[in-house]
Amino acid sequence: MATIIDGKAVAQDLRGKLAERVKDMKASGVVPGLAVVLLGDDPASRSYVTAKEKSCEELGMYSRDIRLPAETSEEDLLKLIGELNGDEAIDGILVQLPLPSHIDEQKIIVAIDPSKDVDGFHPMSVGRMLLEQDTFLPCTPHGILKLLEYSGISARGKKVVVVGRSNIVGKPISNLMFQKQSWGNATVTVCHTGTADLKKETLEADILIAAAGRPEMITGDMIKKGAVVIDVGVNRVEDSSKKRGYRLCGDVAFDQACESASFITPVPGGVGPMTITMLLFNTVKSAEARLG
Ligand code: GUN
């Protein structure tokens, strides 16, 4: 049976350390501030954003919650980002993705001052990450590195298979895993919709990272005995037995996977709590840099 990697417990431990740093900064008169911008009312985005704001407050940080109609123009959003770039109280700017289709996502990301890019999505941050220079690492991949570290799992010399090539998870985590750093040194395969034989690839994985956004697509027969399984998926699937009408599930068929995996992250309670924690980490880091 697999050991469950408790993301909530790791997140809590890291948040405790961050709270100390926030306390120290407050003593110097600086409160780390995060602006969260949400357009429209997609339920999943709304629940992420609410969780981000709540976590900020729990740590004693300042959170500015900006909710705008889905019809907001690109011009108005760019103007808002310009204001936040110049706002002394704001150390981090997060624009919740995906954005409505009339807005060019890349144009918005590029407008964020790289020194406030706590999502790590700006081309400057992405480039610095690729070059292994100090930067804001994207939150979900960074959270995965922390979960592995806390669980005593080294990627060095291992075969890592990433399923999914998104800008937010697949691309950055695959890069981080082969970096010549304490968290890397793995041999990495990236699978995607163009992969000829997915099962053949996943069966090779010592560490399997599922980030495709497809409910339970990784079944038990696709997992090597003893593999570490990191499930990044957060999917809502209809379930009439639940009061809210849906249940959350990952990209991995959890019960089946538990039979072969040595370690596994659950959904919810695995990678999810880490994403927000690393966002808070980046915001504190930004505020500390400002403080000097
Ligand atoms: N949408 C899903 N995940 C994320 C994230 O980490 N940051 C932002 N800005 N949008 C997201």
The reply to whether domains 29-113 and 139-272 share a CATH topology is yes
What is the DSSP-derived secondary structure letter of residue 2? P
User: Is the CB of residue 257 below 6 angstroms from any atom belonging to ligand 1?
Assistant: no
Closest ligand 1 atom to Cα of 140: 6
Q: Is the confidence at residue 292, as pLDDT, over 90?
A: no
3-state secondary structure 51-120: HHHHHHHHCCCEEEEEEECCCCCHHHHHHHHHHHHCCCCCCEEEECCCCCCCCCHHHHHHHCCHHHCCCC
Please say whether the structural domain 139-272 has been given the CATH code 1.10.10.10: no
Q: What is the pLDDT of residues 8-48, one digit of tens each?
A: 999 999 999 999 999 999 999 999 999 999 999 999 899 88
Average pLDDT over residues 161-178: 98
Q: Enumerate the domain spans of the chain.
A: 29-113, 139-272
What is the token pair recorded at 43? Answer: 């339920």
Average pLDDT over residues 123-150: 98
Averaged confidence pLDDT in the chain: 97
Q: What is the pLDDT of residues 64-110, one digit of tens each?
A: 999 999 999 999 999 999 999 999 999 999 999 999 999 999 999 99
Q: Which residues pair with 151 in a beta bridge?
A: none
Closest ligand 1 atom to Cα of 275: 6
Nearest protein CA to atom 1 of ligand 1, as residue: 97
Catalytic residue among 91, 116, 117, 119: 119
Q: Name the more confident of 1 and 168.
A: 168
Instruction: State the pLDDT at residue 25.
Output: 95
Specify whether 8 is catalytic.
no
Res. 4 pLDDT band, cuts 50 70 90: very high
Cα distance from N-terminal residue to C-terminal residue, the chain: 48
pTM, two decimals, is: 0.97
Instruction: State the pLDDT at residue 18.
Output: 98
Q: Is the confidence at residue 229, as pLDDT, over 90?
A: yes
Q: Are 51 and 44 in contact (CB under 8 A)?
A: no
Note the CATH architecture for domain 29-113: 3-Layer(aba) Sandwich (3.40)
Instruction: State the pLDDT at residue 86.
Output: 98
Peptide bond into 273 cis (omega under 30): no
Q: What is the DSSP string of 8-55?
A: HHHHHHHHHHHHHHHHHHHHTT---EEEEEEES--HHHHHHHHHHHHH
Pocket test for ligand 1, best of 105, 168, 235, 275 (most atoms within 8 A of CB): 168
Q: Which residues pair with 208 in a beta bridge?
A: 161, 229
Tell how far the Cα of 101 is from the centroid of ligand 1, in angstroms. 16
